[in-house]
């Protein structure tokens, strides 16, 4: 498949935006300047970038605890996300939600919630609404491999198949459920096969290859939009940082519960570096273009932090605002 240089550079830029923004949070987290728990998505950027590139502006996504990339790839404001992470009034959730409660309805980001599998049923409802309205929209539910042990996923798979809903189940399998390797929590590691008994079309993909993700996501979106029912997509990937925060055990290193050799092998499969090399090898990316994009992204991240620094925290008098009984 042939793509324009502008499109390819757009994919690269989005992945770099996500990575640069997240890495800018590491030092403030370690210094204690950021109070909200942050589950960083560094290493998994190709999934959000490739899948969201296949969606329309009107399509909906729902995320989980590790969703900075989903929010940004679907068009969410970086300034509002960083402000939210710092707990500022100008954040996308008014500074009251933090890293794991992001939302941007105007861009189709309908809800990001940290409860494991908590948004799968919400995505199901969104897809049902689209089916009833016949509005042609597709909904994506992003969740991790840990969510595949929750009953609501299987209930949702059955209902989505029964009603032929325009819903993409997007499982980001980074091989660890918090601190447990997948081999210790699943009798069958082939997650995508759980969709088979429900007659749902499924894929297993290299989640670190952004073009593979985009091409299969495009197929899945067209399948859903044509009224053929849901699709299950399992993306094999790896997080470069700890489960929550920069690292799990030792600050400033990758010495956590994962074997160091395993981490090093996955670092060689960095989705950004792999795509950068591919573009350069094909003559579609010049060094000066790379530097220009990096400067552009670095400035955007710096502007987001400045926006947050200049923003106020919510007033104490408004403690009970948005709280209902």
pLDDT tens digits along 235-284:
999 999 988 888 765 544 545 678 889 989 999 999 999 999 999 999 99
Measure Cα distances from 48 to 20, 43, 69, 258, 318 in Å.
15, 11, 6, 24, 35
Q: Is the pLDDT of residue 193 over 50?
A: yes
* Domain-embedded: residue 318: no
Average pLDDT of span 13-33: 96
Domain membership flag for residue 59: yes
Mean residue pLDDT of the chain comes to 94
Do the domain assignments include residue 322?
A: no
What is the predicted pLDDT for the residue at 251? 47
pLDDT of amino acid 282: 94
Number of structural domains in the chain? 1
Give the count of beta carbons closer than 10 Å to the beta carbon of residue 73: 26
∠ CA 234-114-190, rounded to 5°: 20
Distance CA 254, CA 248 (A): 8
Q: Which CATH number goes with the domain that contains 292?
A: 3.40.50.970
Q: Which of 213, 279, 222, 274 lies closest to 50 in space, CA to CA?
A: 213
> Which residue stretches of 134-270 are H helix?
151-162, 210-225, 260-267
pLDDT-derived band at 322, boundaries 50, 70, 90: confident
Domain that holds residue 205: 5-311
Asked if residue 323 belongs to a domain, the reply is: no
Instruction: Answer whether residue 62 is part of any domain.
Output: yes
Looking at residue 245, its pLDDT comes to 85
Strands (E), 154-296: 167-173, 176-177, 180-181, 201-206, 231-236
In a domain, 153, yes or no: yes
What's the confidence (pLDDT) of residue 256? 65
Query: What are the pLDDT digits (tens) for 116-174?
Result: 999 999 999 999 999 999 999 999 999 999 999 999 999 999 999 999 999 999 999 99
Let me know if residue 317 belongs to a domain: no
| pLDDT > 70 in the chain, percent | 97
316 domain-assigned = no
Residue 49: C-alpha distances to residues 75, 174, 220 (Å): 11, 16, 15
The whole-model pTM stands at: 0.94
d(CA 15, CA 27): 20
């Amino acid at each position: 498949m042939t793509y324009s240089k502008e499109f390819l550079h757009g994919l690269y830029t989005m992945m770099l935006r996500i990575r640069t923004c997240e890495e800018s949070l590491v030092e403030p987290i370690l210094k204690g300047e950021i109070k909200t728990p942050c589950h960083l998505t560094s290493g998994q950027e190709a999934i959000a970038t490739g899948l969201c590139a296949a969606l329309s502006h009107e399509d909906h996504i729902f995320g989980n605890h590790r969703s900075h990339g989903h929010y940004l790839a679907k068009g969410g404001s970086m300034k509002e996300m960083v402000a939210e992470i710092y707990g500022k009034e100008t954040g996308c959730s008014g500074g009251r939600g933090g890293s794991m409660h992001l939302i941007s309805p105007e861009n189709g980001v309908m809800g990001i919630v940290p409860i494991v599998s908590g948004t799968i049923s919400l995505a199901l409802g969104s897809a049902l609404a689209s089916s009833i309205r016949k509005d042609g929209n597709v909904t994506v539910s992003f969740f991790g491999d840990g969510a595949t042990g929750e009953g609501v996923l299987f209930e949702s798979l059955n209902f989505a198949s029964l009603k032929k809903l325009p819903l993409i189940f997007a499982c980001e399998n980074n091989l660890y459920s918090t601190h447990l390797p997948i081999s210790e929590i699943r009798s069958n590691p082939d997650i995508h096969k759980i969709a088979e008994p429900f007659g749902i079309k499924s894929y297993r993909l290299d989640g670190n290859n952004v073009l593979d993700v985009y091409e299969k996501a495009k197929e899945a979106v067209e399948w859903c939009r044509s009224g053929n029912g849901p699709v299950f997509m399992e993306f094999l990937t790896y997080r470069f940082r700890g489960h929550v925060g920069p690292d799990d055990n030792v600050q400033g290193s990758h010495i956590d519960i994962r074997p160091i050799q395993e981490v090093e092998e996955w670092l060689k499969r960095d989705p950004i570096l792999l795509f950068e090399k591919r573009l350069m090898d094909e003559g579609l990316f010049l060094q000066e273009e790379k530097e220009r994009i990096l400067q552009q992204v670095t400035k955007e991240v710096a502007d987001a932090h400045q926006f947050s620094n200049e923003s106020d925290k919510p007033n104490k008098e408004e403690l009970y605002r948005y709280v209902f009984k």
